[in-house]
Chain A
């Protein structure tokens, strides 16, 4: 379980959000939504201690994330997989080597075992045969899939997705949404998805955290969100629905 307690973050004099608290239960899929620039990705980076807050705590299964020593933190980080916004693939090595990368450094697996595990991961993300391609030749959707394959290769307990469908066409976005659901179901992973794509939220999430006005403005289940009459949330979700309807008409 991940518990976020009274988290406050600012960059210089610019407050990002303050006093944010919520919990994520094991096996849940939580979507963190909000306008661009509201600090969603900043929140995600705190969950992996890539950024530290001004105040507040994050407990991962009871361990205070920000009080861990660096070696403990490195072990803790291996319980997480992250799909970064641009996939953050290492461009100096092949797709196969990107996925095999954590296995080579953190396990004693033989070359055959590494090969089998990478092929299995590629199969899970529907990219069989793409291993030898250079990452520069991959499309946006393929890059995200490779990012997911790399994120799950060490069989993490938590999977964090930063804008997994941004910049993708609707069809590829749908494939990524299905992939997220598949990962959560087949690997029994707790997923946290940063997005402003409401279609994605409705497809994949069980709970929703809405960041607005420099705070956690609303938190609840997807059903509660759909029934909510909280004005900023309604404005945000209906604006997205309007965009969906408009693009469908076009």
Chain B
């Protein structure tokens, strides 16, 4: 029963956000600030995640395929495609569910319990337009950008790990990666990250916006936002794979 009520509240919040998306002047300033917080400030962690994912995947794939049956460039094919189709978007999404989701839900939750959201409403603001719309829009815009960053650094990580370890020269890695590179895979990754951006920001906005019960309530909201964000990223990943591949 509680889940149905929460789903109803979530749907209403999204409906309100959608209705007020045209009030650009209200959230313009917040939107640019969120571009920076969600996008620019997430670049270091996304680069780090992408780089090590690519590096480890290369070493492990090379270890598993340590046989004369395949050319060594197959490692580049597997790593490149895995990163582009799956890992850059999903691992990046999971990391951002923690970094971005926790920040948004804590920020809005604190505003809720300290009556700052009530203060906004009491002044005549639409608090959903002011707080929720810019965060979700920034998520939709910046997650695909972060996906591209993660995928690029992932491949760079793979190349460096392969060549530094001496198991795979960079030229062979790139030859393998190019051999099975399909532009549709990048589009698929971008679509995934777009969906993940929506899932993570909207869930964390919802949990923060309706937080209650002081510091403990904000803590609960943040935990739920992060956990649900991760769960729905994995669920959305499965659904998109089933629908689009």
Contacts and interface: CB of A to CB of B under 8 A. Distances in A.
Interface in B110-131: 114-116, 118-119, 121-126
A50 B121 contact: yes
Contact of A82 (B26, B114, B122): B122
Interface string A65-97: 000001000110110101011101111000000
Contact of A78 (B118, B124, B126): B124
A78 B125 CA distance: 9
Contact of B118 (A88, A101, A154): A88
Interface band, chain B = 10 to 19
A85 B123 CA distance: 16
A82 B119 contact: yes
Given A86-B114, A88-B114, A102 B119 contact: no
A242 interface: no
A230 interface: no
Interface band, chain A = 20 to 34
A48 B115 CA distance: 14
A130 to B, nearest CB: 19
A8 to B, nearest CB: 21
B125 A50 contact: no
Contact of B122 (A70, A80, A89): A80
B25 to A, nearest CB: 8
Nearest to A75: B124
Contacts of A84: 115, 118-119
Contacts of B119: 82, 84, 88, 90
A45 interface: yes
Nearest to A48: B122
A116 B122 CA distance: 24
A74 B126 contact: yes
Interface string A35-62: 0000000000100101000000000000
A215 B26 CA distance: 40
Interface in B90-115: 114-115
A106 B124 contact: yes
Contact of B26 (A45, A105, A154): A105
A85 B126 CA distance: 21
Interface of A: 45, 48, 50, 70, 74-75, 77-78, 80, 82, 84-86, 88-91, 101-102, 105-106, 154
Interface of B: 26, 114-116, 118-119, 121-126
Closest 6 CB pairs of A and B: A88-B119, A88-B115, A78-B124, A74-B124, A84-B115, A77-B124
